[in-house]
Structure 1
Amino acid sequence: MPEGVVCCLLNLLIVDDEKRTRDGLKMCLPWSEFGIGEIREADDGHTALEVALAFKPDIILSDIRMPTMTGIELARRVQAELPRCKFVFISGYADKEYLKAAIQLKAVSFIEKPISVAELKGCIGSVTDACRQEAEQHQRLADSAAKLESSIGMLQRDYAVQLAQGSPDADYMGLLLAESSFRLPSDGNYVSVLFHLHSALGPDSPPEHAAALRASLDAALANEFGRQRITTYVAGTIDGTRLVAHLQLTPSLSLNDLRASADRIEADFAGRCGKSSGHQLFAGIGLPVRGTAQLHRSYQTALTAVRQVFFLGSSRTAIFEEQPAGGAALPSDRLMREFGPLVHSCDHAVFPFIAALARDIRGHAVVSVDDVKMLFYKLLLLLYDEAHNKFLGRYMEDRKEEYLWHRVADSGTLQELLTFLESEVRAYLVAVASVGVQSRVVHETIRYIERHYQSGGFTISDIASYLQLTPAYLSQIFKKDTGQTINDYMNAYKVERAKELLAGRGVKLVEVAALSGYNDAKYFTKTFKRITGITPSEYRENALK
């Protein structure tokens, strides 16, 4: 291989029924200098065919006369599957018929036995050069085709967005696309279909993940439109989460047909992403319009239809319907006032209230999705405040305000919000039922100790003040429910934490005392021995044995 030439290494298959010949061919040339990376061999035509189809060699150096299958027949069958594979034939027979067949099969060369190393070297040099030149040309053509296809595709996507926005540049872009044989007739009946991607990706997700989702949506749309033989359309992505497709309507393509197609696109998209991915796709079908110049009006109604999907039941596709203008805002304050007492008293009438809430929202002529989400956010905050007031610590452990807002904001439909609110209320009622008043006090006392034990300076009065109880009442409830005093529990808890620190040599005894909530190391040692029967030093020695 000439110096300075960088290319992929070539594969070579040597085929001859004599092992000595095969070994000699492998040894007689410095194959790597010709850019040959891997060499395999076969001892007859049938074996060579199997190896070639799996190995995909760039060059086959083959004897012509072999058992079971001649080199000519091997070449015919290999080149039917690997048309770029090049053959060099070797034969001890100066047979014109074989030579003629080899020429018809476009064999690069024909070498007679006994083989001249110089002749073989020159032949292989020519073949490898031809392979590289052909590969380079093939790559240039592929690159050019890809660039052209990419440019036309980008122009089509931009054209779709310009049509949706009613941009004056749309006409010019349409003329440019007409030069590439793509044409969207300016007259005719059209409709816009808008797909909105409700992604489960977080803000820190790599950009390639979002790109993969858009590619899955593009593929699902192309698959369905191809299946339905819908060819006169153009589609493009708007702001990364919406894909708009403008289609020319025909007598055989109704809006209900489009709704069915949109449902299949959503199912295809879900299959490509995985059922458990959390990504959701919604579709809105706009009003039909006359001419491409009016497609921006169809797009606006498709946008409204996507918003209408939020209020539907299980369907994820909506055809635009005119809604009466005006309408009263949601009575959020009244709903909060009704919800609060039901939650406070743990009244199961809260569930009929939620069902009525769903009917009220769906029955409103005009209500914004943002207003609905804000109402549910406030209702859930009220629920969590009541749980906090009832000392439902375990219930509130994973329920933070930040998590709540993201959960509400990420809901794609009203039904999701209703289901979430109902499940949170049910969990709240279960928590209330499973924890009595006294047990809740004990639980909160233990949580207070766990959070503050290292500071060491708090008293029973501090805990009682936090729980808004008297110290005497708190001590009475704790002793009754646990069988031990608060101080006994606190010292036992601290000693358990000290044991964890004493299991290694990395922390000095005086530091163990401080980290366990004891400011006095001597008192720590005394308490530790009273509870465990041994000193901290003895415990460490036993633990490290």
Structure 2
Amino acid sequence: MKLLIVDDETRTRELLRSHIDWEEIGIDEVRTAHNGVKALSEIQDWLPEIILCDVRMPKMDGIEFAHQYRLSAPQGKIIFLSGYSDKEYLKSAIHLRALTYIEKPVNPVEVRSAVEAAVLLCLEEKKKFTVELQVQKDIDQSLPYLRQEMVRKLISNPASPHVGPAIENQETFLLPLKGPYTVAAANLYWKGIAHPEDFSLHQNIILDMINRSQRFSSLQVIAGFNWHNQLVLIIPGRFGNAYRDGRGTIEELFSELSQIAGEAIELRLGIGSSAGSLMEIPEAYNDAVRISAFQYYHDQNIIFFDSIGPSGSIDTHWDEVRRLRNHLRKGEIEEAKAALKEWTRYARTCMDLDILRLKDTYFQFMLAITETAVQLNLVEHTEDTERRYVWKEIDNIPSLNALEKYVMNAMDELFTAGLGEPKDVNIRKMQMIIRYIHANFHTSGFTIRAIADHVQFSETYLCAYFKKQQGQTIKEYITDVRINKAKELLGDMSMKLFEITVQLGFTDAGYFTTFFKRYVGCTPSEYRERILR
């Protein structure tokens, strides 16, 4: 802690500086100044917590200096020294929140005691401030989850006895106590294999960024994920499809939400009906979920509830699956495509709002396509893991048009693309793939999707094509590349393990160790010991 002694008397300054053991009471550094002007220059770069200051000094007295000091250190501690019992001075000292007042001639014991009290007060205030900062940090970190829980309560049971009292705390829950409210539901589609196994981490990041957004806060919007990984927004006010009804505000929210979600996620936002009160929010939420499902049949980023039409249900027609399979067996690719287009027209007339059920019908077509390709020896046998991979791709397709295109591309790639091409064309393609893997396997943006984009294949076709040409899966090949490179780097004894980890594209040395041991049978350190032998 720092102490500045300001006094125009040299003897007093030196007495106070030299004859008190400041370190013993927690003062680490002591400086002096002979008037207020000099003291102001001292505090510019070196801001002391405690000031021991004479009142009567030439050029600038202690009262004026203290005023200036207070501007830069509102919580600083001031102890005045004076030989004058002046009532006006005492009033100024009170106004400046002086800690105490010591009459001259000074008594070092009394000064030491006053400064020690100031030190203890500073320490107590710092401790309190640290606690308050931690409490505020904890509150800030918990706000997204508190608001998510409130969203879940409001869309399921707003009559809960806990909702009413909690919503009155507008600092926490933002929403005004009276409606109307508009409920929106956003579907998040992960592009390519960026789709994470665990949604929770990404959801927490998105909620935290929404919580920090000035736009969302100013509109008093609260957000939370429902139990089906949809992002639900509760927005004060009524919003409709026309700009005069607030569409512009919804577009601004969507734009910021897209930036928050990031490039790896494609966002679709369904705007439900308005709720006049908290009790009507569950109905408005159900409307938002319905319109977000209805949106699957429209290639629009934002769709409003008044756009919704009649809907039915759709189930897999096995005769249609068999018909498509028979066309493929006979080499009637165009006829198979026509059958798929016919199914898409039928799906659009059904307008089933159970999107998983709709996707399953196309998944069955995909299974028929891949199984037929295996029977015709166009690709290797399809394992269960590859089936899950296909479903993962289908589950992240954001519209019916894109879903049809995905299955169409699979037919093209498995039954026509590259299969009739000369051998040297396939060799060049494999060279492109392998060179790309070797050049980029260690980079942060390296994915199977990135490889597929580089050679203009879909991920599904790339996996099948690579296995047919190379005799192993592309994932197995990438693993071999990483292991061989790891062995090469481990042979350089000057390289540290974390440096090797980075060069191989891993973010965590512990994960690299686990990966290496799984495929080599020993840890990187054990492998090095074997080399040294």
Superposition TM-score tier, normalisation by shorter sequence: 0.5 to 0.7
Shift of 1:410: 3.3
What is residue 163 of structure 2 aligned with on the other side?
A: 173
Per-residue deviation, 1:48: 3.6
Count of aligned pairs: 420
Q: Say if 1:433 and 1:45 are closer, same or farther in 2 by CA, change over 3 A.
A: farther
Q: 2:2 pairs with 6, 9, 12, which one?
A: 12
Q: Do 1:94 and 1:112's aligned partners in 2 also have CA atoms closer than 8 Å? A: yes
Alpha-carbon displacement from aligned partner over 1:322-344 (angstroms, at most 9, x marks no partner): 43253654656526744774698
Of residues 217, 225, 241, the one that matches 2:210 is: 217
**AA aligned opposite 2:280:** Q
Aligned to 2:465: none
The one of 424, 432, 437 aligned to 2:419: 432
Task: Provide the C-alpha distance between the structure 1 equivalents of 2:58 and 2:116, rounded to a whole number of angstroms.
Answer: 29
Match of 1:122 in 2: 113
Instruction: Please show how residues 180-219 of structure 1 align to structure 2 within 5 Å.
Output: 189-197=180-188, 202-204=196-198, 209-219=202-212
CA distance in structure 2 between the aligned counterparts of 1:40 and 1:405, rounded to whole angstroms: 71
Secondary structure (helix, strand or coil) at the match of 2:389 reads helix
Deviation of 1:122 (Å): 0.8
User: Within 5 Å, which residues of 2 pair with 1:407-486?
Assistant: 407-414=393-400, 416-418=402-404, 420-421=406-407, 428=414, 429-434=416-421, 436=423
For the Cα contact (< 8 Å) 1:189–1:290, is it kept in 2?
yes
Cα pair distance change 1:105/1:348, threshold 3 Å: farther
* Amino acid in the other structure paired with 2:205: A
Which TM-score applies when normalising by structure 2? 0.58
Structure 1: runs of 5+ lacking an equivalent: 1-10, 444-496, 505-542
Comparing 68-77 with 368-377, which one deviates more in the overlay?
Answer: 68-77
The 3 A distance-change label for structure 1 pair 169 and 71 is: same
- Which of 58, 69, 85 in structure 1 is aligned with 2:76? 85
Match of 2:271 in 1: 285
Instruction: Show the counterpart of 1:265.
Output: 253
Deviations 1:297-334 (A, max 9, x none): 22211111121233321414442544325365465652
Q: Which moved more, 1:306-315 or 1:354-363?
A: 354-363
CA contact (8 A) 1:323 1:366 kept: no
Matched, 1:310 2:301: no
CA contact (8 A) 1:34 1:125 kept: yes
Tell me which amino acid in the other structure corresponds to 1:301.
D
Task: Give the C-alpha shift of residue 202 in structure 1.
Answer: 3.1
Report if aligned partners of 1:165, 1:296 keep a CA contact under 8 Å in 2. yes
Pick closer, same or farther for the CA change 1:124–1:322 going to 2, 3 Å.
same
Aligned partner of 1:453 in structure 2 is none
Q: Contact 1:159/1:174 (CA < 8 Å) preserved in 2?
A: no
CA contact (8 A) 2:268 2:300 kept: no
TM-score, normalised by the number of residues in structure 1: 0.57
What residue in structure 2 maps to residue 465 of structure 1? none
Q: Distance in 1 between matches of 2:255 and 2:235?
A: 20
Alignment CA distance shift 1:323-1:402 (3 Å): same
Deviation at 1:372, TM superposition (A): 3.0
Shift in Å, 1:436: 3.6
Question: Which residue of the partner structure matches residue 108 of structure 1?
Answer: 99
**Distance 1:396-1:87 versus aligned 2 partners, 3 A rule:** farther
Give 2:457's aligned residue. none
Q: For 2:320, give the aligned amino acid.
A: R
> Is contact 2:324-2:340 (8 Å) kept?
no
Instruction: Check the 8 A contact 1:58/1:86 in 2, yes or no.
Output: yes
Q: Find the structure with the greater CA-based Rg.
A: 1
Identical aligned pairs, as a percentage?
20
Q: Secondary structure at the match of 1:286?
A: strand
Counterpart in 1 of 2:524?
Answer: none
1:403 alignment counterpart:
389
Q: 1:286 to 1:82 in 2, by over 3 A?
A: same
Amino acid at match of 1:83: P
Q: Given that residues 174 and 183 in structure 1 are in contact (C-alpha distance below 8 angstroms), is that contact kept between their aligned partners in structure 2?
A: no
Amino acid at match of 2:115: I
Give the 3 Å change call, closer, same or farther, for CA 151–88 of structure 1 in structure 2.
same
Structure 2, gaps ≥5 residues long: 431-483, 492-530
Q: What is the identity, as a one-letter code, of the residue corresponding to 1:432?
A: L
Could you tell me which residue of structure 2 aligns to residue 364 of structure 1? 350
Q: 1:239 aligns with which of 214, 221, 227?
A: 227
Q: CA RMSD in A?
A: 5.6
Q: Is the CA contact (8 Å cut-off) linking 1:324 and 1:366 kept in structure 2? A: no
